[in-house]
Structure 1
Amino acid sequence: MFDSSNNHIQLDVKERNGSEWRLTGFYGYPERERRQESRNFIRSLASASTLPWCVLGDFNDLMHNDEKKGRHQHPQNLLDRFRNTIEDCSLIEVDLKGGDFTWEKSKGTTNWVQERLDRCFASSDWWSRFPLCTLTGFHAIVSDHEPIKLELNREDDDGVQMYFDAKDKLDDLLSHEEAYWKQRAKSFWLKDGDTNSKYFHAVASSRKKLNYLAGLKNEEGSSVTNHDDMCILLKNYFTKVFTEDGG
Protein backbone atom coordinates (compact mmCIF):
# COMPACT_ATOMS: atom_id res chain seq x y z
CA MET A 1 0.00 0.00 0.00
CA PHE A 2 1.23 3.49 -0.86
CA ASP A 3 -0.51 6.69 0.15
CA SER A 4 0.41 10.38 0.21
CA SER A 5 -0.88 13.90 0.79
CA ASN A 6 0.57 17.34 1.45
CA ASN A 7 1.27 16.21 5.00
CA HIS A 8 2.47 12.64 4.64
CA ILE A 9 3.97 9.86 2.55
CA GLN A 10 3.08 6.34 3.65
CA LEU A 11 3.89 2.82 2.56
CA ASP A 12 3.67 -0.73 3.85
CA VAL A 13 6.95 -2.63 4.07
CA LYS A 14 6.79 -6.36 3.41
CA GLU A 15 9.78 -8.38 4.56
CA ARG A 16 11.11 -11.58 3.05
CA ASN A 17 9.61 -13.67 5.82
CA GLY A 18 6.15 -12.31 4.98
CA SER A 19 5.75 -9.94 7.94
CA GLU A 20 4.63 -6.36 7.29
CA TRP A 21 4.88 -2.98 8.97
CA ARG A 22 3.92 0.56 8.07
CA LEU A 23 6.25 3.55 7.59
CA THR A 24 4.96 7.13 7.47
CA GLY A 25 6.84 10.29 6.65
CA PHE A 26 4.97 13.14 8.36
CA TYR A 27 4.87 16.92 8.01
CA GLY A 28 2.89 18.94 10.54
CA TYR A 29 1.37 22.32 9.82
CA PRO A 30 3.79 25.11 10.87
CA GLU A 31 0.95 27.55 11.58
CA ARG A 32 0.05 27.48 15.27
CA GLU A 33 -3.68 27.80 14.56
CA ARG A 34 -3.53 24.60 12.47
CA ARG A 35 -1.65 22.43 14.97
CA GLN A 36 -4.87 20.70 16.00
CA GLU A 37 -5.36 19.60 12.39
CA SER A 38 -1.94 17.96 12.50
CA ARG A 39 -2.77 16.17 15.75
CA ASN A 40 -6.08 14.94 14.38
CA PHE A 41 -4.30 13.65 11.30
CA ILE A 42 -1.82 11.70 13.45
CA ARG A 43 -4.75 10.10 15.28
CA SER A 44 -6.43 9.15 12.00
CA LEU A 45 -3.22 7.56 10.70
CA ALA A 46 -2.81 5.59 13.91
CA SER A 47 -6.34 4.18 13.75
CA ALA A 48 -6.21 3.34 10.03
CA SER A 49 -4.17 0.15 10.42
CA THR A 50 -3.20 -2.53 12.91
CA LEU A 51 0.24 -3.03 11.39
CA PRO A 52 3.36 -2.23 13.44
CA TRP A 53 3.84 1.47 12.76
CA CYS A 54 6.73 3.91 12.55
CA VAL A 55 6.17 7.61 11.84
CA LEU A 56 8.93 10.19 11.47
CA GLY A 57 9.43 13.65 10.05
CA ASP A 58 8.91 17.33 10.84
CA PHE A 59 6.05 17.46 13.36
CA ASN A 60 6.38 21.22 13.94
CA ASP A 61 5.43 20.64 17.56
CA LEU A 62 7.09 20.03 20.93
CA MET A 63 6.40 17.72 23.86
CA HIS A 64 8.50 19.30 26.64
CA ASN A 65 9.88 22.73 27.56
CA ASP A 66 13.50 21.60 27.29
CA GLU A 67 12.96 20.93 23.59
CA LYS A 68 13.18 24.66 22.92
CA LYS A 69 16.01 27.11 23.58
CA GLY A 70 15.83 30.86 23.16
CA ARG A 71 13.26 33.63 23.41
CA HIS A 72 9.83 32.73 24.75
CA GLN A 73 8.80 29.36 26.15
CA HIS A 74 6.50 27.16 24.12
CA PRO A 75 2.89 27.45 25.40
CA GLN A 76 2.12 24.74 27.93
CA ASN A 77 -1.27 23.94 26.40
CA LEU A 78 0.41 23.13 23.06
CA LEU A 79 2.95 20.90 24.79
CA ASP A 80 0.19 19.03 26.61
CA ARG A 81 -1.95 18.55 23.51
CA PHE A 82 0.84 17.16 21.36
CA ARG A 83 2.07 14.89 24.17
CA ASN A 84 -1.48 13.63 24.77
CA THR A 85 -1.85 12.85 21.07
CA ILE A 86 1.30 10.75 21.07
CA GLU A 87 0.23 8.93 24.25
CA ASP A 88 -3.30 8.31 22.97
CA CYS A 89 -1.84 6.74 19.83
CA SER A 90 0.36 4.47 22.04
CA LEU A 91 3.53 5.68 20.37
CA ILE A 92 7.03 5.57 21.85
CA GLU A 93 9.70 8.04 20.78
CA VAL A 94 13.04 6.93 19.33
CA ASP A 95 15.83 8.77 21.14
CA LEU A 96 17.77 11.22 19.00
CA LYS A 97 21.56 11.02 18.89
CA GLY A 98 23.80 13.82 17.69
CA GLY A 99 22.15 16.81 19.38
CA ASP A 100 19.12 18.06 21.29
CA PHE A 101 17.65 20.26 18.56
CA THR A 102 16.89 19.81 14.84
CA TRP A 103 15.79 23.28 13.78
CA GLU A 104 17.11 26.79 14.36
CA LYS A 105 16.40 30.36 13.38
CA SER A 106 18.37 33.64 13.58
CA LYS A 107 21.58 31.92 14.63
CA GLY A 108 24.22 34.28 16.02
CA THR A 109 21.72 36.95 17.06
CA THR A 110 19.84 37.71 20.27
CA ASN A 111 16.76 36.16 18.62
CA TRP A 112 18.44 32.77 18.10
CA VAL A 113 15.89 29.97 18.59
CA GLN A 114 16.49 26.21 18.59
CA GLU A 115 13.77 23.54 18.69
CA ARG A 116 13.39 19.80 18.33
CA LEU A 117 10.81 19.59 15.55
CA ASP A 118 12.08 16.54 13.65
CA ARG A 119 11.54 13.23 15.43
CA CYS A 120 10.46 9.61 15.20
CA PHE A 121 7.78 7.60 16.99
CA ALA A 122 6.81 3.92 16.79
CA SER A 123 4.26 1.49 18.17
CA SER A 124 5.31 -1.12 20.73
CA ASP A 125 4.95 -4.00 18.25
CA TRP A 126 7.23 -2.15 15.82
CA TRP A 127 9.75 -1.68 18.65
CA SER A 128 9.71 -5.43 19.36
CA ARG A 129 10.84 -6.01 15.77
CA PHE A 130 13.57 -3.37 15.79
CA PRO A 131 14.84 -2.96 19.37
CA LEU A 132 18.27 -1.86 18.15
CA CYS A 133 17.02 0.97 15.96
CA THR A 134 18.85 4.30 16.16
CA LEU A 135 17.92 7.84 15.15
CA THR A 136 20.78 10.20 14.34
CA GLY A 137 20.77 13.90 13.54
CA PHE A 138 23.25 15.44 11.10
CA HIS A 139 24.39 19.01 10.58
CA ALA A 140 23.05 20.69 7.43
CA ILE A 141 24.71 23.68 5.77
CA VAL A 142 21.94 24.85 3.41
CA SER A 143 18.88 24.21 5.57
CA ASP A 144 17.54 25.42 8.91
CA HIS A 145 16.56 21.80 9.66
CA GLU A 146 19.00 19.04 10.50
CA PRO A 147 18.28 15.79 8.63
CA ILE A 148 17.56 12.72 10.72
CA LYS A 149 18.48 9.16 9.81
CA LEU A 150 16.67 6.07 11.11
CA GLU A 151 18.65 2.81 11.09
CA LEU A 152 16.87 -0.44 11.89
CA ASN A 153 19.92 -2.73 12.65
CA ARG A 154 19.61 -6.53 12.99
CA GLU A 155 15.88 -6.82 12.46
CA ASP A 156 15.59 -10.59 11.87
CA ASP A 157 13.89 -12.74 14.52
CA ASP A 158 17.05 -14.66 15.40
CA GLY A 159 19.04 -11.45 15.78
CA VAL A 160 16.39 -9.89 18.02
CA GLN A 161 16.36 -12.97 20.26
CA MET A 162 20.15 -12.92 20.46
CA TYR A 163 19.98 -9.27 21.49
CA PHE A 164 17.54 -9.91 24.34
CA ASP A 165 19.52 -12.97 25.52
CA ALA A 166 22.74 -10.97 25.54
CA LYS A 167 21.02 -8.08 27.32
CA ASP A 168 19.74 -10.40 30.07
CA LYS A 169 23.21 -11.84 30.57
CA LEU A 170 24.75 -8.38 30.71
CA ASP A 171 22.18 -7.17 33.25
CA ASP A 172 22.90 -10.24 35.39
CA LEU A 173 26.66 -9.70 35.22
CA LEU A 174 26.35 -6.03 36.10
CA SER A 175 24.16 -6.90 39.08
CA HIS A 176 26.69 -9.43 40.36
CA GLU A 177 29.55 -6.97 39.83
CA GLU A 178 27.75 -4.27 41.80
CA ALA A 179 27.15 -6.65 44.71
CA TYR A 180 30.76 -7.84 44.58
CA TRP A 181 32.23 -4.36 44.86
CA LYS A 182 29.86 -3.40 47.64
CA GLN A 183 31.12 -6.40 49.65
CA ARG A 184 34.74 -5.57 48.97
CA ALA A 185 34.45 -1.84 49.59
CA LYS A 186 35.43 -1.98 53.27
CA SER A 187 38.47 -4.23 52.82
CA PHE A 188 39.55 -2.98 49.41
CA TRP A 189 42.43 -0.75 50.51
CA LEU A 190 43.52 -2.99 53.38
CA LYS A 191 44.01 -6.04 51.19
CA ASP A 192 45.06 -4.57 47.86
CA GLY A 193 46.52 -1.20 48.76
CA ASP A 194 50.13 -2.31 48.33
CA THR A 195 49.72 -4.28 45.12
CA ASN A 196 51.30 -2.88 42.01
CA SER A 197 48.08 -2.55 40.02
CA LYS A 198 47.66 0.33 37.60
CA TYR A 199 45.07 1.89 39.85
CA PHE A 200 47.09 1.81 43.05
CA HIS A 201 50.25 2.79 41.21
CA ALA A 202 48.42 5.88 39.95
CA VAL A 203 47.20 6.68 43.46
CA ALA A 204 50.71 6.27 44.89
CA SER A 205 52.18 8.42 42.15
CA SER A 206 49.64 11.12 42.85
CA ARG A 207 50.47 11.13 46.55
CA LYS A 208 54.18 11.15 45.79
CA LYS A 209 53.72 14.29 43.70
CA LEU A 210 51.85 15.98 46.53
CA ASN A 211 54.56 15.07 49.04
CA TYR A 212 57.51 16.01 46.83
CA LEU A 213 59.93 18.69 48.14
CA ALA A 214 61.61 20.74 45.43
CA GLY A 215 63.92 22.50 47.88
CA LEU A 216 64.51 24.00 51.35
CA LYS A 217 65.96 27.21 52.70
CA ASN A 218 68.77 27.24 55.30
CA GLU A 219 69.15 29.73 58.12
CA GLU A 220 70.92 32.18 55.82
CA GLY A 221 67.94 32.13 53.45
CA SER A 222 69.75 30.31 50.66
CA SER A 223 67.94 27.60 48.70
CA VAL A 224 69.07 24.00 49.06
CA THR A 225 67.88 21.64 46.29
CA ASN A 226 70.39 18.77 46.43
CA HIS A 227 68.82 15.69 48.02
CA ASP A 228 71.77 14.88 50.34
CA ASP A 229 72.13 18.52 51.41
CA MET A 230 68.42 18.70 52.21
CA CYS A 231 68.70 15.55 54.37
CA ILE A 232 71.60 17.08 56.31
CA LEU A 233 69.70 20.36 56.72
CA LEU A 234 66.62 18.57 58.07
CA LYS A 235 68.71 16.43 60.41
CA ASN A 236 70.52 19.44 61.82
CA TYR A 237 67.27 21.37 62.21
CA PHE A 238 65.43 18.69 64.19
CA THR A 239 68.55 17.86 66.23
CA LYS A 240 68.72 21.50 67.28
CA VAL A 241 64.99 21.64 68.03
CA PHE A 242 64.98 18.55 70.27
CA THR A 243 68.20 19.58 71.97
CA GLU A 244 66.78 22.98 72.86
CA ASP A 245 63.53 21.38 74.14
CA GLY A 246 65.52 18.93 76.20
CA GLY A 247 67.61 21.73 77.71
Structure 2
Amino acid sequence: MAGDFNELMVRVDKSGGTPRAFAPMALFRQTMEAASLSDMGFYGCHFTWFNKFTKERLDRSFMSASWKAIFPLSRTITLPPYDSDHNHLLIEARAERDPIHRHPRTFHFEEIWHGNSQCLNIIQKNWSTPLTGNMMKQLGSNIHSTGQQLLQWHATDFQRQKLELREVQSKLLDIMRQPYSVEQYEEQRRLHVKQSQLLSQEEKYWRQRSRAIWLKDGDRNSAYFHRKASNRKSRNTIRGLMNNDGVWTTDPQEIKQLLLNFYNMTFTSEGVNESAISKVF
Protein backbone atom coordinates (compact mmCIF):
# COMPACT_ATOMS: atom_id res chain seq x y z
CA MET A 1 0.00 0.00 0.00
CA ALA A 2 1.53 3.30 -1.07
CA GLY A 3 0.51 6.90 -1.66
CA ASP A 4 0.01 10.30 -0.07
CA PHE A 5 -1.13 9.74 3.53
CA ASN A 6 -1.07 13.46 4.38
CA GLU A 7 0.45 12.66 7.76
CA LEU A 8 3.92 12.28 9.27
CA MET A 9 5.24 9.32 11.23
CA VAL A 10 7.96 11.19 13.16
CA ARG A 11 8.91 14.83 13.54
CA VAL A 12 12.10 14.54 11.46
CA ASP A 13 9.79 13.99 8.46
CA LYS A 14 9.15 17.76 8.51
CA SER A 15 11.57 20.63 7.93
CA GLY A 16 10.50 24.24 8.39
CA GLY A 17 7.09 25.65 9.26
CA THR A 18 5.10 24.94 12.43
CA PRO A 19 6.04 21.68 14.22
CA ARG A 20 3.48 18.92 13.71
CA ALA A 21 1.46 17.81 16.76
CA PHE A 22 2.55 14.54 18.35
CA ALA A 23 -0.93 12.95 18.78
CA PRO A 24 -1.83 12.63 15.03
CA MET A 25 1.56 11.08 14.28
CA ALA A 26 1.15 8.56 17.09
CA LEU A 27 -2.35 7.69 15.85
CA PHE A 28 -0.99 7.17 12.32
CA ARG A 29 1.68 4.77 13.61
CA GLN A 30 -0.85 2.90 15.76
CA THR A 31 -3.20 2.53 12.78
CA MET A 32 -0.48 1.01 10.60
CA GLU A 33 0.58 -1.32 13.41
CA ALA A 34 -3.03 -2.41 13.98
CA ALA A 35 -3.27 -3.24 10.27
CA SER A 36 -0.03 -5.29 10.57
CA LEU A 37 1.71 -3.05 8.04
CA SER A 38 5.33 -1.95 8.25
CA ASP A 39 7.02 0.98 6.53
CA MET A 40 9.16 -0.10 3.57
CA GLY A 41 11.58 2.77 4.06
CA PHE A 42 13.03 4.52 1.03
CA TYR A 43 16.05 5.32 -1.10
CA GLY A 44 16.71 8.82 -2.34
CA CYS A 45 15.27 12.11 -1.12
CA HIS A 46 13.79 12.17 2.38
CA PHE A 47 11.05 14.72 1.70
CA THR A 48 8.27 14.14 -0.86
CA TRP A 49 6.19 17.36 -0.65
CA PHE A 50 7.00 21.04 -0.37
CA ASN A 51 5.60 24.54 -0.41
CA LYS A 52 7.18 27.95 0.19
CA PHE A 53 7.27 27.36 3.97
CA THR A 54 8.09 23.70 4.58
CA LYS A 55 9.14 20.29 3.30
CA GLU A 56 7.52 17.05 4.50
CA ARG A 57 7.51 13.32 3.83
CA LEU A 58 3.83 12.66 3.24
CA ASP A 59 4.20 9.86 0.67
CA ARG A 60 5.05 6.39 1.95
CA SER A 61 4.79 2.71 1.14
CA PHE A 62 3.74 -0.03 3.55
CA MET A 63 3.82 -3.81 3.31
CA SER A 64 2.44 -6.78 5.20
CA ALA A 65 4.56 -9.61 6.58
CA SER A 66 3.13 -12.08 4.05
CA TRP A 67 3.94 -9.74 1.13
CA LYS A 68 7.46 -9.23 2.43
CA ALA A 69 7.94 -12.99 2.69
CA ILE A 70 7.20 -13.25 -1.05
CA PHE A 71 9.18 -10.14 -2.09
CA PRO A 72 11.92 -9.82 0.57
CA LEU A 73 14.26 -7.71 -1.57
CA SER A 74 11.78 -4.99 -2.47
CA ARG A 75 12.51 -1.32 -2.03
CA THR A 76 10.90 2.09 -2.46
CA ILE A 77 12.72 4.83 -4.38
CA THR A 78 11.82 8.52 -4.05
CA LEU A 79 11.99 9.90 -7.59
CA PRO A 80 12.88 13.52 -8.44
CA PRO A 81 10.00 16.05 -8.57
CA TYR A 82 8.12 16.10 -11.87
CA ASP A 83 5.21 18.43 -12.71
CA SER A 84 3.86 18.21 -9.14
CA ASP A 85 4.57 19.41 -5.62
CA HIS A 86 4.87 15.71 -4.65
CA ASN A 87 7.76 13.38 -5.50
CA HIS A 88 6.65 10.15 -7.15
CA LEU A 89 7.44 6.81 -5.49
CA LEU A 90 8.81 3.87 -7.45
CA ILE A 91 8.31 0.46 -5.80
CA GLU A 92 10.57 -2.34 -6.96
CA ALA A 93 9.15 -5.77 -6.05
CA ARG A 94 11.94 -8.35 -6.04
CA ALA A 95 11.65 -11.92 -4.85
CA GLU A 96 15.17 -13.15 -5.47
CA ARG A 97 18.67 -11.89 -5.96
CA ASP A 98 21.61 -13.27 -7.87
CA PRO A 99 23.12 -16.27 -6.06
CA ILE A 100 25.99 -15.37 -3.75
CA HIS A 101 28.42 -17.47 -1.77
CA ARG A 102 27.52 -17.34 1.89
CA HIS A 103 30.02 -17.81 4.67
CA PRO A 104 29.43 -20.59 7.20
CA ARG A 105 27.05 -19.64 9.96
CA THR A 106 28.70 -17.65 12.76
CA PHE A 107 28.42 -19.26 16.19
CA HIS A 108 26.10 -17.53 18.68
CA PHE A 109 25.13 -18.94 22.04
CA GLU A 110 21.35 -19.30 22.05
CA GLU A 111 19.37 -18.12 25.05
CA ILE A 112 17.14 -21.20 24.84
CA TRP A 113 20.16 -23.44 25.48
CA HIS A 114 20.57 -22.07 29.00
CA GLY A 115 19.63 -24.70 31.57
CA ASN A 116 19.26 -27.47 28.97
CA SER A 117 20.94 -30.69 30.14
CA GLN A 118 21.83 -31.76 26.58
CA CYS A 119 23.69 -28.50 26.03
CA LEU A 120 25.61 -29.04 29.27
CA ASN A 121 26.49 -32.62 28.28
CA ILE A 122 27.85 -31.52 24.89
CA ILE A 123 30.05 -28.87 26.48
CA GLN A 124 31.36 -31.21 29.20
CA LYS A 125 32.05 -34.02 26.73
CA ASN A 126 34.03 -31.80 24.34
CA TRP A 127 36.05 -30.06 27.02
CA SER A 128 36.99 -33.35 28.68
CA THR A 129 38.34 -34.83 25.41
CA PRO A 130 42.17 -35.16 25.65
CA LEU A 131 44.11 -33.28 22.96
CA THR A 132 47.75 -32.85 22.00
CA GLY A 133 49.73 -29.74 21.12
CA ASN A 134 50.27 -26.44 22.88
CA MET A 135 47.63 -24.98 25.17
CA MET A 136 46.37 -22.32 22.74
CA LYS A 137 45.89 -24.89 19.99
CA GLN A 138 43.98 -27.17 22.38
CA LEU A 139 41.80 -24.24 23.48
CA GLY A 140 41.00 -23.34 19.87
CA SER A 141 40.16 -26.95 19.00
CA ASN A 142 37.86 -27.29 22.01
CA ILE A 143 36.00 -24.06 21.20
CA HIS A 144 35.59 -25.00 17.53
CA SER A 145 34.42 -28.58 18.10
CA THR A 146 32.04 -27.56 20.91
CA GLY A 147 30.51 -24.81 18.78
CA GLN A 148 30.00 -27.10 15.78
CA GLN A 149 28.31 -29.81 17.83
CA LEU A 150 26.07 -27.29 19.58
CA LEU A 151 24.94 -25.91 16.21
CA GLN A 152 24.21 -29.40 14.89
CA TRP A 153 22.28 -30.32 18.02
CA HIS A 154 20.34 -27.04 17.92
CA ALA A 155 19.28 -27.54 14.29
CA THR A 156 17.89 -30.98 15.11
CA ASP A 157 16.35 -30.08 18.47
CA PHE A 158 14.71 -26.84 17.30
CA GLN A 159 13.13 -28.62 14.35
CA ARG A 160 11.86 -31.33 16.71
CA GLN A 161 10.28 -28.67 18.94
CA LYS A 162 8.46 -27.10 15.99
CA LEU A 163 7.04 -30.49 15.00
CA GLU A 164 6.08 -31.21 18.60
CA LEU A 165 4.31 -27.84 18.87
CA ARG A 166 2.27 -28.53 15.74
CA GLU A 167 1.33 -31.96 17.11
CA VAL A 168 0.22 -30.49 20.46
CA GLN A 169 -1.85 -27.79 18.74
CA SER A 170 -3.45 -30.42 16.50
CA LYS A 171 -4.44 -32.51 19.54
CA LEU A 172 -5.91 -29.45 21.27
CA LEU A 173 -7.97 -28.71 18.18
CA ASP A 174 -9.29 -32.28 18.11
CA ILE A 175 -10.31 -32.05 21.78
CA MET A 176 -12.16 -28.78 21.19
CA ARG A 177 -14.22 -30.47 18.48
CA GLN A 178 -15.49 -33.12 20.92
CA PRO A 179 -18.09 -32.89 23.72
CA TYR A 180 -16.86 -32.12 27.24
CA SER A 181 -15.62 -34.90 29.51
CA VAL A 182 -13.48 -34.95 32.66
CA GLU A 183 -10.78 -37.09 31.02
CA GLN A 184 -10.54 -34.76 28.06
CA TYR A 185 -10.29 -31.74 30.34
CA GLU A 186 -7.26 -33.20 32.15
CA GLU A 187 -5.64 -34.06 28.81
CA GLN A 188 -6.39 -30.58 27.52
CA ARG A 189 -4.84 -28.97 30.59
CA ARG A 190 -1.68 -31.10 30.18
CA LEU A 191 -1.41 -30.14 26.50
CA HIS A 192 -1.84 -26.46 27.35
CA VAL A 193 1.10 -26.66 29.76
CA LYS A 194 3.24 -28.35 27.11
CA GLN A 195 2.21 -25.79 24.49
CA SER A 196 3.12 -22.95 26.83
CA GLN A 197 6.59 -24.43 27.37
CA LEU A 198 7.21 -24.84 23.64
CA LEU A 199 5.92 -21.35 22.84
CA SER A 200 8.18 -19.93 25.53
CA GLN A 201 11.21 -21.52 23.83
CA GLU A 202 10.11 -20.17 20.45
CA GLU A 203 9.60 -16.71 21.96
CA LYS A 204 13.15 -16.67 23.36
CA TYR A 205 14.55 -17.79 20.01
CA TRP A 206 12.96 -14.94 18.04
CA ARG A 207 13.39 -12.44 20.86
CA GLN A 208 17.15 -12.93 20.70
CA ARG A 209 17.18 -12.41 16.92
CA SER A 210 14.92 -9.36 17.04
CA ARG A 211 17.29 -7.59 19.47
CA ALA A 212 14.17 -6.45 21.34
CA ILE A 213 15.90 -7.36 24.59
CA TRP A 214 14.05 -4.62 26.46
CA LEU A 215 10.96 -6.86 26.53
CA LYS A 216 10.76 -9.15 29.52
CA ASP A 217 10.07 -12.88 29.43
CA GLY A 218 6.35 -13.57 29.26
CA ASP A 219 5.57 -10.80 26.73
CA ARG A 220 4.84 -13.52 24.21
CA ASN A 221 4.50 -12.10 20.72
CA SER A 222 6.46 -14.36 18.39
CA ALA A 223 4.97 -12.69 15.31
CA TYR A 224 6.31 -9.33 16.53
CA PHE A 225 9.76 -10.80 17.24
CA HIS A 226 9.78 -12.54 13.86
CA ARG A 227 8.87 -9.28 12.13
CA LYS A 228 11.58 -7.40 14.03
CA ALA A 229 14.17 -10.03 13.09
CA SER A 230 13.08 -9.94 9.43
CA ASN A 231 13.25 -6.15 9.35
CA ARG A 232 16.69 -6.21 10.94
CA LYS A 233 17.93 -8.73 8.39
CA SER A 234 16.46 -6.63 5.59
CA ARG A 235 18.19 -3.47 6.86
CA ASN A 236 21.52 -5.31 7.08
CA THR A 237 21.24 -6.59 3.49
CA ILE A 238 23.28 -4.63 0.94
CA ARG A 239 21.09 -4.64 -2.18
CA GLY A 240 23.33 -2.35 -4.17
CA LEU A 241 25.76 0.58 -4.08
CA MET A 242 26.18 3.80 -6.02
CA ASN A 243 29.52 4.22 -7.79
CA ASN A 244 31.51 7.46 -8.19
CA ASP A 245 29.55 8.30 -11.36
CA GLY A 246 26.24 8.17 -9.49
CA VAL A 247 25.18 4.90 -11.15
CA TRP A 248 23.33 2.36 -8.98
CA THR A 249 24.74 -1.16 -9.31
CA THR A 250 23.45 -4.47 -7.92
CA ASP A 251 26.04 -6.79 -9.47
CA PRO A 252 27.82 -8.68 -6.61
CA GLN A 253 31.25 -8.41 -8.26
CA GLU A 254 30.87 -4.67 -8.84
CA ILE A 255 29.70 -4.17 -5.24
CA LYS A 256 32.74 -6.10 -4.02
CA GLN A 257 35.09 -3.93 -6.09
CA LEU A 258 33.43 -0.72 -4.87
CA LEU A 259 33.93 -1.78 -1.25
CA LEU A 260 37.57 -2.71 -1.88
CA ASN A 261 38.23 0.62 -3.60
CA PHE A 262 36.55 2.55 -0.78
CA TYR A 263 38.63 0.98 1.98
CA ASN A 264 41.83 1.13 -0.06
CA MET A 265 41.32 4.89 -0.41
CA THR A 266 40.32 5.25 3.25
CA PHE A 267 43.44 3.54 4.63
CA THR A 268 45.94 4.81 2.06
CA SER A 269 48.08 7.82 2.88
CA GLU A 270 48.14 10.62 0.30
CA GLY A 271 49.85 13.99 0.39
CA VAL A 272 51.75 13.28 3.61
CA ASN A 273 53.69 16.25 4.98
CA GLU A 274 57.01 14.59 5.75
CA SER A 275 58.49 17.71 7.41
CA ALA A 276 55.55 17.95 9.83
CA ILE A 277 55.92 14.26 10.74
CA SER A 278 59.66 14.66 11.36
CA LYS A 279 58.96 17.52 13.79
CA VAL A 280 56.52 15.33 15.73
CA PHE A 281 59.12 12.60 16.15
- TM-score w.r.t. the length of structure 1 is 0.43
The structure that has the greater radius of gyration is 1
The structure with the greater share of residues assigned to strand is 1
- TM-score w.r.t. the length of structure 2 is 0.38
The structure with the greater share of residues assigned to helix is 2
